[in-house]
Structure 1
Amino acid sequence: MGTTIDIAALDGSGSFATYIAEPEGTPKAAIIVIQEIFGVNPGIRAKADKWAKEGYLALAPDMFWRFAPGLSLDPDVPEEMNQAFDIRTNFDADKGVQDIEAVIRVARKRVGGGKVGIVGYCMGGRMAYLSATRTDVDASVGYYGARIAEAIREAHAIANPLMLHFAGQDGFIPPEQLAIIHAALDDNAHVIIHEYPGVDHGFATETGKRRNDAAAELADSRTRAFFAEHLA
């Protein structure tokens, strides 16, 4: 359904591939889909395609372009899962936010100055949080964002709506980290946090062993309603 465009990095270091899916007719707004550590794989492209079918311009940038361009791994293959964990250590979140800012600017132009949202998964969930604290994105959603607790001091900078989804039995986000997140964000009027009991990290992946249909469908329905409200 989609195609690929190149977007120039703001630091002048090059350009990165971005999967783009366009809706029929005029887009309602733009949604940037931020990958897991497995790259812009078929699951991430499928999520972008779904947003296009909902009437949004959807863009999924290659966040690993500086050191592993074009990465596309399957988390259900143990060797590829291990490869992803090794590769992610090269990722610089500060540079990642700059790249997201570049995509925001391109997205705004493509929707005629309209609104832009972000939805991210795992590593992308943390990047959605950081985008909410460091950019002017209109609305952000993070699914099981690992290491958000490490950046919780930035929470005061959240100026636009943010929704966070967490798995109740997440092997990568222990209860003590969730407690830090709740303590900092529960009273923030911009933030909504949802937890899904009994499911693990990656529950909203499009396909594969990690997916939990009930939790994924509930979280996705909440995300659709959230964007419908805040990107209108």
Structure 2
Amino acid sequence: MARSIDIKAHDGGSFTGYLAEPAAGKGSAKGGPGILVIQEIFGVNKVMRDICDGLAAQGYVALCPDLFWRQQPGIDITDQTKEEWDQAFKLFGGFNLDLGIEDLKSSLAVLRKLPGVGGKVGTVGYCLGGRLAYLMACRSDVDAAVGFYGVMLQDHLDEAKNIRHPLMLHCATEDKFTPKEAQAKIAEALKAWPLITRYDYVGNDHAFARVGGEHYDKAAADLANQRTMDFFRKHLG
């Protein structure tokens, strides 16, 4: 079952989130884990909604909040045209990272209180969302976090010392948005932290797990998705 819910921002106003819940009888009587899904630069589009629906089918309560609401609510575009890419990059350029984290914390608090959530809560993000998933591991009480090809992680390596719960990162070795030098810097800085697990996907480009995308690689996506679900089962219960 899927629906839209309202989320109150910490500084006033509200925004929406796409909520997918397990079918009746799928979870336990006390509720199960929740997962906060963090959007790419294309908004809460079909790709994000499908991810939420897929998680709900596996027994998780999944919530994907609209993080572009401060610029333009309801962004729902694809990666199929230049015009949409231009719009996506404009939104990315205007995105306030710190306010985005606060909006995710507000969303996390709402998710924890939903009737169907009786256990721990994790987060998974893609692209911009991968960066935010890393920062949520650094700045929030999320129980487990997964980032797919997060951008600009090299700008936040000093925050890794704040991580208190498990974090998994899926990294594409040919990521056009993360130069080789930055990849090496990230790998070197994070290898000392036992709560962080990194996987390199050799030969893959950015967004290798985005179904329908130019660089989609089913084998790599399936592997990353399986590792993600095993990770959540282990750390969320």
Fold-level similarity (TM above 0.5): yes
Residue in 2 aligned with 1:6?
6
- AA in 2 matched with 1:86: K
Residues 102-117 of structure 1 aligned to structure 2 (within 5 Å): 102-110=106-114, 111-112=116-117, 114-117=119-122
Q: Which runs of 4+ in 1 moved over 6 A?
A: none
For 1:5 and 1:112, how far apart are their aligned partners in 2?
Answer: 15
Residues 207-218 of structure 1 aligned to structure 2 (within 5 Å): 207-218=212-223
Residue in 2 aligned with 1:140?
145
CA contact (8 A) 2:204 2:215 kept: no
Residue in 2 aligned with 1:152?
157
**CA displacement 1:64-118 (0-9 Å, x = unmatched):** 0001110011112121111111121111110011111111111111145521100
- AA in 2 matched with 1:109: K
CA contact (8 A) 1:46 1:206 kept: no
- Partner of 2:198, secondary structure, is strand
Residues 1-232 of structure 1 aligned to structure 2 (within 5 Å): 1-12=1-12, 14-24=13-23, 25=25, 26=27, 27-110=31-114, 111-112=116-117, 114-232=119-237
CA contact (8 A) 1:4 1:20 kept: yes
Alpha-carbon shift at residue 207 of structure 1 (Å): 2.4
For 1:208 and 1:91, how far apart are their aligned partners in 2?
Answer: 23
For 1:167 and 1:76, how far apart are their aligned partners in 2?
Answer: 21
**CA displacement 1:185-218 (0-9 Å, x = unmatched):** 1121100000101111011113232311011000
Alpha-carbon shift at residue 28 of structure 1 (Å): 2.4
- Partner of 2:4, secondary structure, is strand
For 1:68 and 1:138, how far apart are their aligned partners in 2?
Answer: 30
For 1:229 and 1:36, how far apart are their aligned partners in 2?
Answer: 26
- AA in 2 matched with 1:218: L
For 1:37 and 1:8, how far apart are their aligned partners in 2?
Answer: 22
- Partner of 2:32, secondary structure, is coil
- AA in 1 matched with 2:93: T
- List alignment gaps of at least 5 residues for structure 1: none
For 1:206 and 1:34, how far apart are their aligned partners in 2?
Answer: 16
The count of aligned residue pairs is 231
For 1:92 and 1:112, how far apart are their aligned partners in 2?
Answer: 29
Q: How high is the TM-score relative to the length of structure 1?
A: 0.97
CA contact (8 A) 2:207 2:213 kept: no
- Partner of 1:114, secondary structure, is strand
CA contact (8 A) 1:147 1:173 kept: yes
- AA in 2 matched with 1:19: Y
**CA displacement 1:106-135 (0-9 Å, x = unmatched):** 111114552110000000000000000000
Q: How high is the TM-score relative to the length of structure 2?
A: 0.95
- Partner of 1:228, secondary structure, is helix
For 1:99 and 1:3, how far apart are their aligned partners in 2?
Answer: 19
